[in-house]
Every structure is written in structure tokens, then in C-alpha cells.
Amino acid sequence: MEELEEQRKREAADQQRQQQQQEGKAPDVQPGAAAPARQEARIALQGVALSLSVRQYAGCRALLEVGDAYAANAPYRLMKPKMRPAPGERMIWA
């Protein structure tokens, strides 16, 4: 029952929006642009608490360290060779 009511409300809102667009009341949407959002939400978090086991904590720390290393090496990524060195050659970049 509630689903039918929600569907009818959505259909009525869509029809009203189409009618407003035809009358020129609604702003025109550019071709290829994203459709306007139907809902907006603003969430403000002041504090978040997590309860992790020792293994989960260690995994999170390892993941954060990998992310930090990735960000730290970002400026030098352009200097990295595009392909692997030939077999027998010394590895210059790991």
C-alpha cells in the first residue's frame, strides 16, 4: 500500500515538473548535464568511534601507511620507467 502511494506521489511530481518545464517555469537542463538531484542531505559529524580488534587495527594502520607512501611518491611517479628492465639488468626502481 505504502509503495503504491510513494509511486503515485513520484509520478505526480514528475508530471508537475514536466508541466513546469513546458511552461518555462523550471530552469532548462543542458544536454549531457547531470539531472538535478531529487534529494539533498547535509550530515555533520562531530565524532566517530570505532571498535576494532588488534588484527583489524593493524590492517587499518598498514592500509594508511600504504596510502601515505603512495601520496609521498606521487611527485616522482613521472620519473619511473614505463616498462620493466631487461632480464639480467639491475633493478633501479621498485
State pLDDT tens for residues 37-48: 677 778 887 888
The pLDDT confidence band at residue 33, using thresholds 50, 70 and 90, is low
- The DSSP annotation for 43-89 comes to ---S-------HHHHHHHHHHHHHHHHHHHTGGGGGGS-SSPPPTTS
Which residue did the predictor score with more confidence, 31 or 35?
35
The whole-model pTM stands at 0.36
The whole-number pLDDT of residue 37 equals 65
